[in-house]
Structure 1
Amino acid sequence: MARRSTVQRDPRIAGDPELSAYPDFPDDPDLGRAPARGRGASRGRWSGGGGRWLVWTGRAVLWALIVVIVVNGVRAPFERFTQQNAPSGAAPASDSGFPTAQGSAFATQFAEVYLNFDGARLEERRSRLAPYLPEGTEPQFGWDGFGRMSAGAVQPYGIEVVDADNAVVTVLYQSDNRRQLLSVPVYHDRSTKRFVVAGRPGILPAPKAAALPPKAAPERDRAAEQELRTPMEDFFKAYAASDTASLQRYADAGITLEGFGGAFTFLQLKELAVPLGGGATREVTATVLWGVPSKARQSTDPEPADPGQMEGKLEQAYLLTVVKQGDKWFVKDIRGAYRSVAR
């Protein structure tokens, strides 16, 4: 005998073809009850559809941030590349547009002519000054034609840009035992890209040399100094003469050393300083006395009275990197020494 199903069927489902497609539901005391209304009515569960605008807004902000980062990352190296590969034919200009490099070169060349004069060579100076001066300017440019002056070691020292067309260039020079400055007003014609001295120069004293503070001497490795002295003397003899075979005996593997080719002669290794510690590789300071060759003369000639014809001596300081391999030392590098201890 078959049992009767305990599941109650809604008579509406049986009569409605659309509703009859859904499966049977268990008994529910609220089934068939009219939906509640008013403030106490229960709300259905949130399906999440109402928060989708927050998700899309967050995604939009994230993508915008990524785009900004990518654009900046690509633009920065591109700008550096274009700046490095910019044409270098034009002289650097200041913020005002004045070409400082060209203006400094023009004023320096002018100073070399202006600062050298001799009363016996008026016409020469006049013709040499003409390319730098405006038309109609007094040809000696302030000099009365008497006396003499010589200057050398003329170098650019600084520039004060007034505007896009005007600047004052300062050059440094040596005259006798004095270092001095010369300020030169310069005008730049942008249409023709030409320069001209725009007014009288002004001579000024150069700054004095700085005071060198004392420096404590490092502790020295006396044993290493004694061990290195003979190899260093032999090395400097070969270095003075550019004795290739001897230089290769004292040079580290793979190192090629040139030498003076006889321009100087080795006289003495006056001092050799080896700091304490450092292992097989050391940085040593060598003070060398070179012989400066004189003009060739016969051995029977009397002693020359002119000091310029006599053999001279010149003391120099060098910093060498030396490496010990076995019981021998080899030179890896030679260059000018650092500052010495101030006395």
Structure 2
Amino acid sequence: MKNPLKFKSKTPMKAKFIKIGKYVFWIFVILTFIRGINSYFKHNEVDAKVTNEIPYIISGAAQGFASAFATDYLTFNSQDTEEYSKRLAPYLSYGLKGDIPIDTNKDTQLTVNHANVVDLKQINNKRADIYIKVDIEARNVDSSVLQDQVGVNNDKVRNAKIVRYLQVPIEYEDNKLFVYDYPTFVNRTPETKGETAKIPDFPSVDGRLKETIEKMTTDFFKTYSSGSSSQLAVYMLNNQELQGYEGVLNFESLDNIQVIDFQKTKNTDTKTNSDVNEVLVYTTTSWIDPLTNMTSKQHHTFIYKYENDRWLIKQFSGGYKEWRK
């Protein structure tokens, strides 16, 4: 007779399900752990990106703030100094409010036409000096000074267009930008001593190949001047879309062209022109603006690739680019 109090032993099938359940549990634990580690590293990546951002004190917003201040600071009517002080107040630190207006006894009016950032210097995380070029239209100025500055001989002329450079000291604190010291007029921004763009020193391709590339480049620029994107696609590898000037500028002349075997940009052995299948091309061209009749020179860089028995443009850009194989 069976003992009713004795539990039945686990069947093989039940034991199998329990074993599978254990595996599922541990797989879940491992996946949770991996997900946590992944989230940790992603969090660090986000932090790294934040720390690499441009400091707010020299950001576009800060530069715009300095330009706006320069505009209001040098827009002045000597007959309405009260309005001028109110207009400047939102830009200024508490100690400068009411202490910074321009002081003049003459009937002078200044209007700013343009105010553009030309330089900036970050002092620390909170402070920077922003340098602004300000184009001003001045009325009722001293005619004798005007004559000395711009060679005007007529004493009746009392209006002038002048340029001033203004150093604006700004600070960022408590989520607010403000001017914390008197702005300073500077004579001009420091001269830039960087080098002019030059064609890289690689051996040129001459002869018939250069003549072929020169003719095709000239034809391309004529189309680039006034043609549509579908007309330009004829010159492009894989019919890439390219938008030209569409009549905004007229092509005048190809003044200089240098054709380089693209393989030689990685210092490979010299090959004959018949073996060349990619060339790097540098050009200097002249263009005319049909509205102003002004002529300007431009630099362009090409990579041409020989495919299907013809040369096609693989890459094209304004300026001299040091593209290498």
Superposition deviation, residue 152 in structure 1: 2.8
Aligned residues of 1:125 and 1:140 also touching (Cα < 8 A): no
Amino acid at match of 2:283: A
1:81 equivalent among 38, 42, 46: 42
Structure 2: tracts of 5 or more residues without a match: 1-33, 136-161, 264-275
Q: For residues 77 and 114 of structure 1, do their structure 2 counterparts lie closer, same or farther at Cα, with a shift above 3 Å needed?
A: farther
| Cα distance in structure 1, aligned partners of 2:79 and 2:289 | 35
Q: Kindly indicate whether the alpha-carbon contact (under 8 Å) linking 1:108 and 1:171 is maintained by their aligned counterparts in 2.
A: yes
Q: Is the 8 A contact 2:130 2:170 kept in 1?
A: no
Shift of 1:332: 1.6
Judging by fraction of residues, say which structure has more helix: 2
Tell me the secondary structure at the aligned position of residue 116 of structure 2: strand
Aligned-CA RMSD value? 4.2
- TM-score normalised per structure 2: 0.59
Aligned to 1:116: 74
How many residues align? The count is: 243
In 2, are the aligned partners of 1:172 and 1:179 still within 8 Å (CA)? no
Task: Verify the 8 A CA contact 2:289 2:295 in the aligned structure 1.
Answer: yes
2:117 to 110, 133, 154: 154
| Cα distance, 1:121 vs structure 2 | 8.3
State the distance in 1 between where 2:86 and 2:179 align.
Answer: 15
CA contact (8 A) 2:118 2:189 kept: no
In the alignment, what sits opposite 1:144? 103
Match of 2:254 among 259, 265, 269: 269
Q: Secondary structure at the match of 2:243?
A: coil
CA separation in 1, counterparts of 2:121 and 2:94? 27
- Please identify the structure whose Cα radius of gyration is greater: 1
Q: Which letter maps to 1:219?
A: P
Percent identity over paired residues: 17
Compute the displacement of 1:227 (Å).
1.2
Residue number among 194, 201, 207 corresponding to 2:190 in the alignment: 207
1:75 offset after TM fit, Å? 8.2
Q: 1:168 and 1:202, CA in 2 relative to 1: closer, same or farther beyond 3 A?
A: farther
Match of 1:131 in 2: 90
Are residues 281 and 289 of structure 1, via their aligned partners in 2, closer, same or farther at CA, if it must alter by over 3 Å? same
**1:333 Cα deviation from its structure 2 partner:** 1.6
Shift of 1:148: 4.4
Look up the SS of the partner of 2:192 in the other structure.
coil
Letter in 2 for 1:333: Q
**How far is 1:217 from its partner?**
4.7
Q: Distance in 1 between matches of 2:163 and 2:36?
A: 53
Deviation at 1:77, TM superposition (A): 5.5
SS at match of 2:225: helix
Structure showing greater relative contact order (alpha-carbon pairs closer than 8 Å, 6 or more residues apart): 2
1:320, CA displacement in angstroms?
1.0
Assess if the C-alpha contact under 8 Å between 1:112 and 1:154 holds in 2. Answer: no
Task: Specify every segment of 5 or more residues in structure 1 that has no aligned partner in the other structure, as ranges.
Answer: 1-72, 295-309
Is 2:240 aligned against 1:255?
A: yes
The offset of 1:172, in angstroms, is 2.7
Are 1:290 and 2:253 counterparts?
Answer: no
Tell me the distance in 2 between the aligned counterparts of 1:121 and 1:155.
31
Q: Distance in 1 between matches of 2:213 and 2:79?
A: 58
Kindly tell me: are residues 206 and 228 of structure 1, through their superposed partners in 2, closer, same or farther at Cα, counting changes over 3 Å?
A: same
Maintained 8 Å contact 1:269/1:288 = yes
Q: Give the CA deviation at 1:337.
A: 2.4
Are positions 1:235 and 2:209 aligned together?
A: no
Contact 2:62–2:177 (8 Å) recurs in 1:
no
Equivalent residue for 1:184?
169
Deviation, 1:198, is 2.5
1:221 equivalent in structure 2: 205
